[in-house]
Amino acid sequence: MESIELQPTLNGLRGTIEIPGDKSISHRSVMFGSIAQGVTRVTNFLPGDDCLSTISCFRKLGVTIEETENEIIIYGNGFDGLKEPNDILDVGNSGTTIRLLLGILAGRPFFSSLIGDQSIGKRPMTRVTEPLKTMGAGIDGRKNGEFTPLSIRGGHLNPIHYKMPVASAQVKSALILAGLQAEGESTIIEKAESRDHTERMIQKFGGEIEKDNLTITVKGGQELIASDIHVPGDISSAAFFLVAGAIVPESEIVLKNVGLNPTRTGIIEIMNQMGANLEINNQNEDAFEPAGNITIKTSSLKGTVVCGEVIPRLIDEIPIIALLATQAEGTTVIKDAAELKVKETNRIDTVVQELTKLGASIEATEDGMIIHGGTILTGGTVSSHGDHRIGMMLAIASLISKDPVKLCDPEAISVSYPNFFSHLNNLKM
């Protein structure tokens, strides 16, 4: 399927969606299940292409992983259970897989080589490989280890005391995973608070990690014990329907089982700031990862400024926030978001380019974008550029466009939301 023709909705969107499992937590459940001792059972695992790449890499590292209809079962044998792979580890489109995996492999006394798809080949890796080399790992790759293909020979690691130059949960997590294998105590200082799923999962697997504001301390040599994991729904997937419900007239959508970890809920804060008609209920705050249901109704929105500490807590939602802003009254400014340039695509460029094709009034800036609201979107031919979140944002845009939208490369969406179109169609009246 090279393109798909999407029609505007004639009526509102109504109904309930069970949001699929969180991508970040699904990746980590396989990784932690693999490095822990014992059998880990994971329910509501996201069967998206990215998470399947993680499973495939850990199988190549010698871990037995079963996939049944309802759960993923991982037979972990500790860090020492990982074996030198015979084959290249292919991470596909997944930045989380490659960066966290590098942290794990940094402490393993064997050789591995890693590749990914074309997009991965353009994404910066020295943010992870440099500090891991300082700890003692042998890493090389194209352009001095900046890009894939990468090779790594791990082994004995010294602890690290590192002030991170970027706000990135992937970098933080890679260093924590290496720190778990180092001789001594590592300290990692974040630039801004980013998603804390790795820290929560260490505790769930019986390990210890301390956090004091932006400083994280982790001791090496800890043994992790298998633990069953129920993955909450992905707020980054829910975001597309939160925005759809807000901008499509006469809509009311209930999103069930949405992960509400405070390091991920920036989108809710911004939508509230913009005046969205949004309600959270049945919140389970005690779970290892909090979750709840969200009801969203058609909303009258106003523009806002999105910047500063909230950015890492909504970084993946910026494409869909840009669409939301085209329907708000007034101007929305997004800044401090230069990290968007090194995502699956340069998301400042792809968002601005594709929304402009649909008639939006949007301009790129050095570290974000400026969106003038109140525009009526036209139809047209647009492309996901192979980026799942750009594809889904454009599909939601088609709902309110005057004319049909032809979306090229829609299959990228299966990276994080394989059932996206069936969920969307079920809501159409």
In this structure, what DSSP letter does residue 225 have? B
Angle at 31 between CA 28 and CA 35, to 5 degrees: 135
Nearer to ligand S3P, 15 or 124 (CB): 124
Residue 213's contacts (CB-CB under 8 Å, 6 or more residues apart) are: none
In this structure, what DSSP letter does residue 121 have? G
Q: Does 261 bind ligand S3P (CB under 6 A)?
A: no
What Rg, from alpha-carbon coordinates, does the chain have?
21
Angle at 397 between CA 391 and CA 398, to 5 degrees: 95
CA dihedral (201, 207, 213, 216) in degrees, to 10, reads: -100
Which of residues 34, 40, 93, 173 is near ligand S3P by CB under 6 A? 173
Do residues 159 and 135 lie in contact, with contact meaning Cβ atoms separated by under 8 Å?
Answer: yes
Catalytic, 49? Answer: no
Which of residues 41, 60, 108, 195 is near ligand S3P by CB under 6 A? 195
Size of the site for ligand S3P (CB under 6 A): 10
Nearer to ligand S3P, 112 or 168 (CB): 168
Distance between CA atoms of 302 and 328, rounded to whole angstroms?
A: 5
Angle between helices 95-105 and 126-135 (to 10 degrees): 10
Distance between CA atoms of 170 and 154, rounded to whole angstroms?
A: 19
Which of residues 90, 316, 317, 409 is near ligand S3P by CB under 6 A? 316
In this structure, what DSSP letter does residue 278 have? E
- Residues in region 338-357 near ligand S3P by CB under 6 A: 339
Nearer to ligand S3P, 60 or 313 (CB): 313
Q: Does 53 bind ligand S3P (CB under 6 A)?
A: no
- Residues in region 277-306 near ligand S3P by CB under 6 A: none
Q: Does 264 bind ligand S3P (CB under 6 A)?
A: no
Q: Which stretch binds ligand S3P (CB under 6 A): 1-9, 165-173, 365-373, 380-388?
A: 165-173
Q: Does 129 bind ligand S3P (CB under 6 A)?
A: no
Distance between CA atoms of 171 and 119, rounded to whole angstroms?
A: 18
Do residues 246 and 15 lie in contact, with contact meaning Cβ atoms separated by under 8 Å?
Answer: no
Nearer to ligand S3P, 193 or 409 (CB): 193
- Residues in region 77-116 near ligand S3P by CB under 6 A: 96
In angstroms, what is the minimal distance from the CB of 19 to ligand S3P? 16
Q: Does 265 bind ligand S3P (CB under 6 A)?
A: no
Q: Which stretch binds ligand S3P (CB under 6 A): 34-42, 137-145, 163-171, 258-266?
A: 163-171
Q: What are phi and psi of 214, to 5 degrees?
A: -100, 5
Residues contributing to the site for ligand S3P (CB under 6 A): 24, 96, 168-170, 173, 195, 315-316, 339
* Active site residue ranges: 316
